Amino acid sequence: MFARQWDFLTSVTDMANLPPAAGTEIAFAGRSNVGKSSLINALTGRKGLARTSSTPGRTQMLNFFVAPETPLTIVDMPGYGYAQAPKELVEAWTNLVFSYLRGRPNLRRVILLIDSRHGIKKNDLEAMELLDKAAVVYQVVLTKADKIKPPALVRLIDETKAASAKRVAAHPEIIATSSEKNRGVDELRAELCNLATQ
């Protein structure tokens, strides 16, 4: 069962301060404003757990959330693709994220969030390349599914599946979610539970 009680554990800006690797870690990644905080809050049932970002791209931190009664840790990775982000910030993102992806033994999967309104963009492809290179399994999860009409969503799921199938480390299943309408959230919870118990 998915834990009901989630807490903030720590935020880290460098590899030296990572919490001990215990249990199963699942990290969430995506462009700034993709709806990552909203989805983490919907999953955990705690509204203010992940901060919805008022200044996108500002914080280059990995945020760790834990549930005392489960061996699952959720990691909120810094959003990418913020248009005004200076070059150094993009480099800091890549360095921190890549070191984490490469070096974390208990990281089971990255949930790569894609905004249903936009589909996969250039910087999402760059993130996929990084994940392929790091050899971490990632799964595309669509956010804000309430924002597009059902036929367009079906098309988007098909296109996203096809795009994922071409990637080295991508998981083939796509989940469409809406934090606003609580859609796909149970399905994603079940997926994370499976990973934690395997």
Is 143 among the residues that bind ligand GDP (CB under 6 A)? yes
At its nearest, how many Å lie between ligand GDP and the CB of residue 55?
10
Residue 53 or 94: the one with the smaller Cβ distance to ligand GDP is 53
At its nearest, how many Å lie between ligand GDP and the CB of residue 166?
25
Is 35 among the residues that bind ligand GDP (CB under 6 A)? yes
At its nearest, how many Å lie between ligand GDP and the CB of residue 32?
5
Q: Which residues contact 2 (CB under 8 A, 6 or more apart)?
A: 43, 70, 189, 190, 192, 193
At its nearest, how many Å lie between ligand GDP and the CB of residue 28?
9
Sheet order of strands, 7-12 included: 7-12, 62-66, 72-76, 24-30, 107-115, 138-143, 175-176
At its nearest, how many Å lie between ligand GDP and the CB of residue 152?
14
Beta bridge partners of 160: none
Is 44 among the residues that bind ligand GDP (CB under 6 A)? no
Residue 40 or 67: the one with the smaller Cβ distance to ligand GDP is 40
Distance separating alpha carbons of residues 68 and 46, to the nearest angstrom: 15
At its nearest, how many Å lie between ligand GDP and the CB of residue 93?
14
Distance separating alpha carbons of residues 153 and 176, to the nearest angstrom: 8
Residue 23 or 123: the one with the smaller Cβ distance to ligand GDP is 123
Say if residues 188 and 43 touch (Cβ distance below 8 Å): yes
Is 180 among the residues that bind ligand GDP (CB under 6 A)? yes
Is 53 among the residues that bind ligand GDP (CB under 6 A)? yes
Is 57 among the residues that bind ligand GDP (CB under 6 A)? no
Is 38 among the residues that bind ligand GDP (CB under 6 A)? yes
Is 178 among the residues that bind ligand GDP (CB under 6 A)? yes
Choose which of 52, 95, 106, 197 interacts with ligand GDP (CB under 6 A): 52
Q: Which residue has the tokens 């997926």?
A: 191
Say if residues 38 and 179 touch (Cβ distance below 8 Å): yes
Beta bridge partners of 7: 66
Q: Containing H/E element for 65? A: strand 62-66
